Amino acid sequence: MIEHGDGGVKYSVVTGLVTAGGKKVAVAVAAKKLPSSLEVKSRATHSLHLLTGVAYSEPVSDQAAAEELLQGVEREAVTAVQQAAAMTWQRLQDSHTRVWQDLWTSGFGISWSYADDAINGDRVNATMYYVLSQSPTPLHSGQTSEGKRSELQGFLSYTEGCYSSSAPCRPPTSGHRSPPSPGSTPSSPTGSST
């Protein structure tokens, strides 16, 4: 049982092997046991904060070697939940927000395009968020060495430019328009909404 909140919260830990590209990956998931039903009175709300720890190994060719990794990934998943449970919800959310802000302010992301009928940066960035939020973050992992962390930070700092010869990425030459602020609708040169 992992202790956090009011009293101990029960978690189940599931481990197993997954085949990926002909190799075996040891996987463990530690998740809160939920009741089979939850009653919410009319005109009321009920929020659940669910901590889930997921850990997996590097792919290995040998089944026996993969099975030996199961205990390690199980420990990792449980440790991840314990570390998150040791934080207040606000601190956990602030930490999550800070990691994403650091990524976006590194220059990673797509800026506003002035091209007609372009799929713009807000949509592309939202898609990247959903994809990346399902991926491991070695840059922010406590298990990443300082050398590797420095190398990863260098990748984020590398600015290639936005296809500098591509017209949609260059600002318009007549009547400069600023990109819209997040959450706003871009306006046409006449000022009406598009």
- Go through 104-134 and write b for each residue having 16 or more CB atoms within 10 A of its CB, e for each that does not: eeeeeebebbbeeeeebbbeeeeebeeeeee
pTM above 0.75, yes or no: no
Percent of the chain with pLDDT over 70: 72
Write the secondary structure of 4-39 as one string of H (helix), E (strand) and C (coil). CCCCEECEEEEEEEEEECCEEEEEEEEEECCCCCCC
Parallel, antiparallel or unpaired: strands 11-20 and 8-9? unpaired
* pLDDT score for 177: 44
Task: Using the predicted structure, report yes or no on whether residue 181 has a pLDDT greater than 50.
Answer: no
**Closest-CA residue to 67 (of 15, 134, 114, 20):** 15
Q: Per residue in 14-36, pLDDT tens?
A: 999 999 889 999 999 999 888 88
Task: Using the predicted structure, report yes or no on whether residue 193 has a pLDDT greater than 70.
Answer: no
Instruction: Calculate helix-pair angle for 89-105, 121-132, nearest 10 degrees.
Output: 130
Q: Per residue in 124-169, pLDDT tens?
A: 777 877 787 777 777 777 677 888 888 887 776 655 554 444 444 4
Confidence of residue 178 (pLDDT cuts 50, 70, 90): very low
The domains of the chain are located at 1-35+49-86, 89-158
Q: Are 121 and 110 in contact (CB under 8 A)?
A: yes
Q: Are 37 and 27 in contact (CB under 8 A)?
A: no
